[in-house]
Structure 1
């Protein structure tokens, strides 16, 4: 059985998994390290928001959990009220923007959801759990609105921060993978009519 060369493996990895870059240097190993293995948290400034005092943070998290429970029980208005109160009291708490965006998305208020997701990303301060949710959720909305390029970029980011759904969707939405798949389908049609 034939084995793939290092270069061929690099090409396939770049196309299907988003690893590496699609330049001659990148495919031959002279380029930068694959993006999929990059430490994305290193690209975020160490501190862009003031620290939230522990006592306040505990109360915020308790209220946020209450809002999440209400949303899970389909009481979206009550959840929205709680999340909005948290935002008003602590506008730099990134996680609540994710949760409020989810409620807005369920209410089909996509503009408000996107605004909150932008805020979640802005205030996340490198928090991978917030970033993976915010980018993935934003990708879902952009995909629903027909913004394939924006959705692909957000799914890639969500995947890099650890969201498995975002990783899977980014691979499926990869334009190079789509092109390669279309070429393979055409070849198979010719070989097996």
Structure 2
């Protein structure tokens, strides 16, 4: 039985549509879910920052990271309900652990259409609220922008969250902002028109001086 399309793969396709180009799935996974970077030994301080109100020793932190990684793997292999249950357990034990909210939001997005959009937004808001580092803020804002766009929400709110994602260093958000910035769009139209006139000055002149 084929595996369901992951949320990060879907985001890769969506951003490809937004930006008119394709993107690597592993890159999107890093930037949106933070699966690899969150479990890199160099980011233990980042994880600890999210748990700053609940001191945890190195051994407990390592076990927590492993549990979260297992939950992400469950989601990626189609065991969505188990992944959500495991991430929920982590959140119950460490309610200020931003990464678990961000990953649970992704797991919710892998479910068949069940009208769970508000659960997703609530988790992403919690991830933003509890995040104590730039990478997590970037991931959560970027994922929220993508979800809001899928929901057909106000473009200003979508652009705001992409802008925040870009502000905190998320590469997907930076590319989306460059594409979606209304001033950039206007500038792009002006450049396109200028190039058209350069290629065909006679047509441009006749347009300015109609008979």
TM-score, normalised with respect to structure 1 = 0.68
> Paired residue for 1:53, among 46, 52, 56?
56
Residues in 2 aligned to 1:52 and 1:153: alpha-carbon distance in whole angstroms:
33
Equivalent pair of 1:49/1:123 in contact (CA under 8 Å): no
Residue 158 of structure 1 corresponds to: 165
Per-residue CA distance 1:50-72 (angstroms, 9 max, x = gap): 14312443332121111011111
Residues in 2 aligned to 1:156 and 1:59: alpha-carbon distance in whole angstroms:
34
Following superposition, the deviation at residue 143 of structure 1 comes to: 1.5
> Is residue 174 from structure 1 mapped to residue 181 from structure 2 by the alignment?
yes
Residues in 1 aligned to 2:52 and 2:130: alpha-carbon distance in whole angstroms:
7
- Listed as ranges, the matches of 1:76-155 within 5 Å are 76-107=80-111, 108=113, 109-125=116-132, 127-146=133-152, 147-155=154-162
Following superposition, the deviation at residue 159 of structure 1 comes to: 1.3
Over the aligned positions, Cα root-mean-square deviation in angstroms equals: 2.2
Specify the SS of the correspondent of 1:95: helix
Following superposition, the deviation at residue 186 of structure 1 comes to: 4.0
Write 1 or 2 for the structure with the bigger share of helix: 2
Residues in 2 aligned to 1:137 and 1:128: alpha-carbon distance in whole angstroms:
14
Following superposition, the deviation at residue 119 of structure 1 comes to: 0.3
How many residues are treated as equivalent by the alignment? Answer: 147
Equivalent pair of 2:166/2:177 in contact (CA under 8 Å): yes
Equivalent pair of 2:50/2:98 in contact (CA under 8 Å): no
Following superposition, the deviation at residue 77 of structure 1 comes to: 0.9
Which sections of structure 1, spanning at least 5 residues, go unmatched?
1-45
Equivalent pair of 2:50/2:130 in contact (CA under 8 Å): no
Equivalent pair of 2:68/2:87 in contact (CA under 8 Å): yes
Residues in 2 aligned to 1:176 and 1:106: alpha-carbon distance in whole angstroms:
34
Residues in 2 aligned to 1:137 and 1:100: alpha-carbon distance in whole angstroms:
12
Stretches (4+) displaced over 6 A:
none
Following superposition, the deviation at residue 136 of structure 1 comes to: 0.6
